[in-house]
Amino acid sequence: MVKDCGIVVPTLGQRPEFIGQCLASIREAGECFVVVVRPATASSIDSALEAFVDLIVDDPQTGLARAINEGMSRMPPSVKFVNWIGDDDRLTPDSLSATRQALLGSPTASFVYGACRYIDSENQQVWMNHSGRFASPLMLCGPQLIPQPGALFRKSDFDLVGGLNTSLKWAFDLDLFLKLRKRGRPVFLRVVLSEFRWHEGSLSVGSRRGSVTEASLVRQSHLWTPVSRLSILWEPLLRQMIFFAGARVSRKIEKR
């Protein structure tokens, strides 16, 4: 069967207890070509990945965004729809089939997204991001509420916007969605498509302050210039609100 969906899984090979769950969930989500990007020094994990993975490539080790771009560049020509997922996150059963069908049914859609379940290290739910259609326009003036792990977008659009911005360390997903949004209307599905694992080892959780600050700069860079200049009136407060919302989720997990 020709696979027209592709998923990139960047990993350092340091979380074997999670990556197995991640890869198994991708296979249950739908037919796709799976590329794992890992450091050459982590090649010892390759044998454990073979049952789930179509291709394993070396990480350039110049940042996460570049690692994902490398994985995307290695997709076969048959792949039309793509995304990436962290090695500790999971897709829900048949979610990839659902997002693929949504894109096939909406030729002008730039990407598809849905709800996301936040889980802890023990796979217990701690919060649900129901997201919604409002999440797309909110990106320019509020928090990034589009759950990236369960989204799906066109490979052609990803290439046309230049892939992920490798100068960004955390907010490259927000930057990508803002670029894709200019290319077409996003589609929201009222189903849980993914599970994001909230723990201190997660890049966006462990580096919360840096992530929030970088996202603020990305938002401002996509605003119309006069509005961007005015954004200094609300961005400092918005950054604090987003930071404390994340801290609240972390405290909730610590009390479990």
Instruction: State how far Cα 173 lies from the chain centre.
Output: 6
pLDDT band at 127 (very low <50, low <70, confident <90, very high): confident
Q: List CB contacts of 237: < 8 A, sequence separation 6 or more.
A: none
> Does the structural domain 5-254 have CATH classification 3.90.550.10?
yes
Neighbours of 133 (CB within 10 A): 13
- What per-residue confidence (pLDDT) applies to 49? 94
Instruction: Write the CA distances from 149 to 30, 91, 115, 223, 234, integer angstroms.
Output: 14, 7, 10, 25, 28
Which percentage of the chain shows pLDDT scores above 90? 67
Domain ranges for the chain: 5-254
- Please give the pLDDT value at position 237: 72
The per-residue pLDDT of the chain, averaged, comes to: 90
pLDDT in tens, 44-103: 999 999 999 999 999 999 999 999 999 999 999 999 999 999 999 999 999 999 999 999
The number of beta carbons lying within 10 Å of the beta carbon of residue 58 is: 14
Q: pLDDT, tens digit, for every residue of 185-244?
A: 999 999 999 999 986 555 455 477 888 889 889 998 898 777 777 777 777 777 777 776
Instruction: Please state the length of the chain.
Output: 256
DSSP per position, 186-232? -EEEEEEEEEEE-STTSHHHHTHHHHHHHHHHHHHHHS-HHHHHHGG
Q: What letter would DSSP give residue 41?
A: G
Q: Indicate whether this model's pTM tops 0.75.
A: yes
For 229, phi then psi, to 5°, come to -65, -35
